[in-house]
Amino acid sequence: MEYEWKPDEQGLQQILQLLKESQSPDTTTQRAVQQKLEQLNQYPDFNNYLIFVLTKLKSEDEPTRSLSGLILKNNVKAHFHNFPNGVTDFIKSECLNNIGDSSPLIRATVGILITTIASKGELQNWPELLPKLCGLLDSEDYNTCEGAFGALQKICEDSAEILDSDVLDRPLNIMIPKFLQFFKHSSPKIR
């Protein structure tokens, strides 16, 4: 089931302002931003705002969007098991829907976020992840194919042990033959 979430415009503007301030070279400003971010972590839907900025606010500059994703990644590392189910579902859905973003920076950030969620034990709780990413490899859209490969590469690096275990029915047995098909791909990056 798709989780529908819409940001409060005032809250969104405050978070965007924080993201901009966090890019300031001034350490006092950065410290103040860090404190505000810690306070915002007490609100369950704060992480929805972060994924929203990363994946939906295409009008924002890429460094701001990417920073939003990296802050979310840190929140996933620190607090993921405390996220409400709706927030978790929204983040997962947005990641999969935006793995093919036109920006290489945003694709990479989404891939890092997917990998971080997977490494928090979520490969078992996100059964559609690997089949979906493997399916996206066949996309006619280069960005989608490249984004899916990037995420799979990071997952293989970070979760190699579980990928070759019976816990998930040894997905490497399916993934490796799939990867071999791409040795003749027209893109050197994908090869």
Give 15-58 pLDDT, tens digit per residue. 999 999 998 899 999 899 999 998 999 888 999 999 999 999 99
Does some domain include residue 52? Answer: yes
- According to the model, what pLDDT value does residue 3 have? 58
Please state, in angstroms and as integers, the Cα–Cα distance from residue 113 to each residue in 32, 69, 107, 120, 169, following that order.
Answer: 25, 7, 10, 11, 24
Does some domain include residue 117? Answer: yes
Does some domain include residue 161? Answer: yes
The pair of structure tokens assigned to 2 is 């798709």
> Could you say which DSSP state residue 182 is in?
G
- According to the model, what pLDDT value does residue 39 have? 92
Does some domain include residue 189? Answer: no
- According to the model, what pLDDT value does residue 1 have? 43
- According to the model, what pLDDT value does residue 49 have? 96
Longest CA span, the chain: 52
Q: Can you give the CATH number for the domain in which 29 is found?
A: 1.25.10.10
Cβ–Cβ < 8 Å for 46, 40: yes
Q: Which among 116, 122, 95 is positioned nearest to 106, based on CA atoms?
A: 95
Over the chain (191 residues), what is each successive 10-residue block's mean pLDDT?
76 94 90 92 92 95 96 93 90 95 96 92 82 92 94 87 73 74 76 71
User: CA-CA distance, 168 to 53, in Å (whole number)?
Assistant: 32
Domain ranges, residue 123:
9-184
Does some domain include residue 93? Answer: yes
Does some domain include residue 4? Answer: no
Quote the number of domains for the chain. Answer: 1
Does some domain include residue 104? Answer: yes
- According to the model, what pLDDT value does residue 167 have? 67
78 half-sphere exposure, CB direction, 13 A CA radius: 10
> Could you say which DSSP state residue 3 is in?
P
Does some domain include residue 2? Answer: no
